[in-house]
Amino acid sequence: MKVDQPPRYRSPSLLRNRFERGIKSLTQGRLGRTVVIALPYGWLALFLLVPFLIVFKISLAEAMLASPPFSPLVNWTEDMALQLRLQLSNYAILWQDPIYLDAYWNSLKVAAVSTLVCLLVGYPMALGIARAPGNWRMVLLLLVILPFWTSFLIRVYAWIGLLQGNGLVNQVLLAFGLIDTPLALLHSNFAVYLGIVYSYLPFMVLPLYATLMRLDDTLLEAAADLGCRPWKAFLTVTLPLSMPGVIAGSLLVFIPAVGEFVIPDLLGGPDSLMIGKVLWSEFFSNRDWPVASAVAVAMLVFLVVPLALLQRIEERHTTGGR
């Protein structure tokens, strides 16, 4: 026979203490999550949004022979009225002067071709490193990141010594009888492409290697058991699964290559005009900070908006696929 037990007595102080501890833990958990989320957003706001707003403000000003060389946006008139002066003509110049459009187009073309070459060269390297034995893998990775131990400017200057008329490349070609006269390799578009590919190739290899290392080898074994040839297994298994690494590496190469200044300035010629050189000329040679800021803002918009739309489409595709 079951006897009902009397309800267990709990004092009000005990219930109040448990309630306070529950509220405290909930508050601390929310506070911790808020701090963790706020730190990266605060970092982006401080070092990305604030500088962008400063540059955007300068792009709406008027160039002046003063220090700083631009007019304030807000002025007080004699009758103590607040006057706001915005110079939208700085953005109109970008569409009227063909030098800016040519520089934008050339920058996008050079960055796209360099990214494609980095992908074609870097993918076999990353795949070879990912499938190498464990004791060789770290050595190969070290060789990929070894150029980062040297100054970027020194590495670009080294290519000047290699590509000039009496440089090592022409001397080797002349010694083997492949050419009769030295080639004009330096100060050309070829030198710009070569310098960008050499400088940014590790940024393509490392994301690809990280993605390829996470792939399941049993998928390739299953494809081989089903009679799939190696090249077809690569196209149907390895390449689709490595697309996140391809996208990440392509963005890491394409975005900085668009605004590259040092390589086109040192290795390029008159036809290698890129937007980074135009920015430098407007800031330091012409002292036209508003137009230079408008060039920078337009370049950022041209890069960020398509990339944001691409990311949104990819997220919707991934969510829809699930």
* Predicted confidence (pLDDT) per residue in 39-87, tens digit: 888 888 888 889 999 999 999 998 888 778 888 888 777 677 777 888 8
Residue 227: burial class (beta carbons within 10 Å; 0-12, 13-18, 19+)? exposed
Q: Which two tokens stand for residue 27?
A: 């508050």
Identity at 22, one-letter amino acid code: G
Q: How far apart are the first and last CA of the chain?
A: 55
Nearest to 111 by CA among 302, 310, 305: 302
Q: What is the pLDDT of residue 11?
A: 56
**To which H or E segment does residue 75 belong?**
strand 74-76
Instruction: Read off the pTM.
Output: 0.81
Q: What is the pLDDT of residue 31?
A: 65
Q: What is the pLDDT of residue 205?
A: 95
CA dihedral 52→97→277→304, nearest 10 degrees, is: 40
Nearest to 138 by CA among 129, 151, 148: 129
- Structural contact between residues 97 and 116, judged by C-beta atoms closer than 8 angstroms: no
Q: What is the pLDDT of residue 9?
A: 47
Q: What is the pLDDT of residue 20?
A: 63
- The span from the CA of 201 to the CA of 123, in Å, is 10
Blockwise average pLDDT, block size 10, the chain, 322 residues:
50 62 58 75 87 92 84 77 82 89 92 96 94 89 90 92 91 91 91 95 94 86 83 88 90 91 90 88 89 91 76 64 48
Task: Give the chain's domains with CATH numbers.
Answer: 97-287 (1.10.3720.10)
